[in-house]
Structure 1
Amino acid sequence: MRLSLAAIGLLTLFNTQFVAKADVFSWSNKLAVIHGDAPAPTANEVSASYLAPFANEHEPEVDFELVEHDDDDTASNRLSVLRKRGDDCGKYYSAKRGDTCGKISKKYGIKLDQFYDMNPQVNHACTNLHTGKKYCVETGSTAPSHKRDESGSGCAKTHKVSGSDTCVKLAKKYGISVNEFYDMNPQVHRGSCDNLDNGKQYCVKAGSSGSKFSGKVASFSEDSGSKKSASKKSSSKKSSSKKSSSKKSSSSSSSSSKEKRKKLQSKAAFTYYWIAHPDDYKGGKSVAVKTCGGKTIGKVGEKYADALVMEGTGVVGNKIVNLGGCSCSGYKCFEEVDKKDDPYGLTAYGSALRPYITIAANDLKKNTKIYVPSIVGWTLPGTNKKHNGCLLVDDQSWSFSSHHIDFYVYSMKHYKSLDKQHRVNKVDIYEGGSCKLLNYL
């Protein structure tokens, strides 16, 4: 098993002090990318797969209430998850040096397109297949369907694709999230967006049947109108009684129309992890960092080279590197990471790390959206935006077991800033429901 770990700087918080775990840097299949103070990449500099989970920040938040338990016995108690291909994988394969998407597909008797469908983090040129990372090679029995409801007017507006169009451009043009575009157009390869056909029409606005809450809103409006009409026909005294009854009914209807977010865990441990910066490791003679095949990637100070080996990832010049699938001798053991697909690095699952969104947890299902009230309103370092409390479980950690979430904050200085302001180390965790995952950078 190869060593491949980000310098996650996981903390144990005691009396507002922290202790960095030195051996945290040796866990397998963990990668994160160092950017330091470099400006965040723009939408044009990252792939659609990185942007896919994010919602449109201009969309209104759903009205919701937090509940200790689910009052509706018929409701599903399953965690609310981000609908993404490969969520329920029946079998995984750890990529080895020399593997290609075609070789893996052939080995497990699946079509190449099926492999891409089950592994949306892999681009369709298969240039970002990482040695040691796990990839789905067999779907589970409960894999989610991405087909949208075709009943009624499923699409209210379409767009005819031209040569320069991409999924990201179309989503931005029509004010929707990239994920919504994929949901409305399930025939488009989610993440890679490499099968848009010129001249074909694609849905860019959901119809009435595609609106998640249109049915509830319409029903509530009709009920309100009916009550107003009935009230006008009654006498003054009866009208007053009916208005009172109407208010109670309206209040009850309003409460029932709210999304209920069930509590998953109480007082779960809350810690942070981040990426080491090259400036944290100054000194030593200049040494060459090389690929497993001996190709020089760049030169760095010896202390930083040692840190790269220990931490498993980092930046060398303008390149992002990760430990490759070979033993490390003379710093000849690295591979480059695709910065477009994974601008902030890879999680233990091989998906992209997303600052202020990614959560590492060992007892919550991958791609589970969660809501943490304790962080709502936090002003996030490096941006003037405030957090809405919505997070995505998309990573794991070896250093703790359960009832614990680890918040990816990008850099140590971001941790220090947040910890100084808030001093939070225990949080309640709720289902995320329809809460919006936002791109804060």
Structure 2
Amino acid sequence: MKQASISKTLLLSIFAVILCCTVSSARKIPGCYAKRAALTQYWIPKEGDKDMTNDGKTVTLNGAKTKALKDHKGKIIAKVSKITYDKFQMEGTGLLLSGTMVNLGSSKNTFMKVNRKKNPYGLGSNENSLIPWVSVAANDIRKGTTLYIKKLDGVKLPDGKVHNGCVRVDDTGWSMGGCHIDFFVLQYKAYQILDTKLPEHVSVVQKSCTVLNYINSSVKKWAVLS
């Protein structure tokens, strides 16, 4: 009985190790990230402000309000210009002149209102809060995974703080593929500053690192007054 009990315990231990290794392996990020991953940025476009189209053209988000932002029940949240609608759709979040923030809902053609007190910087794909300069979108990495981007380490952010290279997967992107990191930078103005500092491709490694708090008074002021 004792020998049989030991053998059973040993088999269970081996199974547990195999299961653990299998789960751990499944959670590893794709190998392409360590070689050459695309790096882009996304932000919260604001109605009436200057912004940029997908082909790099500078535009102002205004014009005739011919497009309706609808929720999943078809109810109209607000009407905006086509260029504003397209930008809100592309970035996944948008800020109306009224102060209402909207986020993509169950599809790329439906929107939902965001509780700005609870989620001042918008929502990720799991309706989790996005954090400027911490949150990234990726379609082939498990949410909550922390990543280290060497090219980001030491970069001075628009609010004056210095990044440590550690980011966290908090979102996905409907308009991008795999081996792609989309870095959440809050505003178009921040993108303009960082675009001159960050390369188009980076090496990304999965790492248990500490994400820092880059929110200062100017960022908090944007969240309240925008």
User: 1:423/1:367 Cα in 2 relative to 1: closer, same or farther (>3 Å)?
Assistant: closer
* Cα offset, 1:269, TM superposition: 2.0
1:373 aligns with 2:164: no
1:277 aligns with 2:46: yes
Which residue of 21, 24, 28 corresponds with 1:78?
24
Q: Which residue of 2 aligns with 1:398?
A: 174
* Cα offset, 1:325, TM superposition: 6.8
Which residue of 153, 163, 182 corresponds with 1:387?
163
Q: Which residue of 2 aligns with 1:426?
A: 201
Whole-angstrom CA distance in 2 between matches of 1:313 and 1:427: 25
* Cα offset, 1:336, TM superposition: 2.1
Which residue of 302, 320, 328 corresponds with 2:101?
320
SS of the equivalent of 1:416 reads helix
Q: Which amino acid letter does the alignment assign opposite residue 204 of structure 2?
A: I
Residue 33 of structure 2 contacts residue 179 of structure 2 at CA under 8 Å; is this kept in 1?
no
Residue 377 of structure 1 contacts residue 388 of structure 1 at CA under 8 Å; is this kept in 2?
yes
Whole-angstrom CA distance in 1 between matches of 2:62 and 2:154: 36
Which runs of no fewer than 5 residues in structure 2 stay unpaired? 1-19, 50-59, 216-226
1:267 aligns with 2:36: yes
Whole-angstrom CA distance in 2 between matches of 1:267 and 1:308: 27
User: 1:427/1:341 Cα in 2 relative to 1: closer, same or farther (>3 Å)?
Assistant: same
Aligned pairs, number: 176
SS of the equivalent of 1:408 reads strand
Residue 265 of structure 1 contacts residue 403 of structure 1 at CA under 8 Å; is this kept in 2?
no
Q: Which amino acid letter does the alignment assign opposite residue 101 of structure 2?
A: I
Q: Which residue of 2 aligns with 1:438?
A: 212
* Cα offset, 1:275, TM superposition: 2.2
User: 1:334/1:424 Cα in 2 relative to 1: closer, same or farther (>3 Å)?
Assistant: closer
% identity of equivalent residues? 37
Higher alpha-carbon Rg: 1
Whole-angstrom CA distance in 2 between matches of 1:269 and 1:308: 21
Q: Which residue of 2 aligns with 1:346?
A: 123
Residue 151 of structure 2 contacts residue 198 of structure 2 at CA under 8 Å; is this kept in 1?
no
TM-score where L is the length of structure 2: 0.62
Whole-angstrom CA distance in 2 between matches of 1:320 and 1:301: 13
SS of the equivalent of 1:265 reads helix
Whole-angstrom CA distance in 1 between matches of 2:63 and 2:181: 35
* Cα offset, 1:377, TM superposition: 0.8
1:195-244 deviations in whole A, cap 9, x for unaligned? xxxxxxxxxxxxxxxxxxxxxxxxxxxxxxxxxxxxxxxxxxxxxxxxxx
User: 1:371/1:339 Cα in 2 relative to 1: closer, same or farther (>3 Å)?
Assistant: same
Q: Which amino acid letter does the alignment assign opposite residue 374 of structure 1?
A: K
Describe how 1:29-428 pairs up with structure 2 within 5 A: 78=24, 265-278=34-47, 279=49, 280-284=60-64, 302=81, 306-307=85-86, 310-311=89-90, 313-316=93-96, 317-322=98-103, 335-381=112-158, 383-420=159-196, 422-428=197-203
Whole-angstrom CA distance in 2 between matches of 1:269 and 1:355: 19
Whole-angstrom CA distance in 1 between matches of 2:147 and 2:46: 29
Residue 40 of structure 2 contacts residue 181 of structure 2 at CA under 8 Å; is this kept in 1?
yes
* Cα offset, 1:358, TM superposition: 1.1
Residue 274 of structure 1 contacts residue 412 of structure 1 at CA under 8 Å; is this kept in 2?
yes
Residue 371 of structure 1 contacts residue 390 of structure 1 at CA under 8 Å; is this kept in 2?
yes
Whole-angstrom CA distance in 2 between matches of 1:384 and 1:276: 22
Whole-angstrom CA distance in 1 between matches of 2:43 and 2:185: 5
Q: Which amino acid letter does the alignment assign opposite residue 213 of structure 2?
A: N
Whole-angstrom CA distance in 2 between matches of 1:275 and 1:265: 29
Residue 264 of structure 1 contacts residue 431 of structure 1 at CA under 8 Å; is this kept in 2?
no
Q: Which amino acid letter does the alignment assign opposite residue 344 of structure 1?
A: Y
SS of the equivalent of 2:151 reads helix
Residue 40 of structure 2 contacts residue 200 of structure 2 at CA under 8 Å; is this kept in 1?
yes
TM-score where L is the length of structure 1: 0.34
* Cα offset, 1:351, TM superposition: 1.6
Aligned residues: CA RMSD: 3.8
User: 1:305/1:401 Cα in 2 relative to 1: closer, same or farther (>3 Å)?
Assistant: closer
SS of the equivalent of 1:406 reads strand
Residue 285 of structure 1 contacts residue 302 of structure 1 at CA under 8 Å; is this kept in 2?
yes
Q: Which amino acid letter does the alignment assign opposite residue 436 of structure 1?
A: T
Residue 103 of structure 2 contacts residue 122 of structure 2 at CA under 8 Å; is this kept in 1?
no
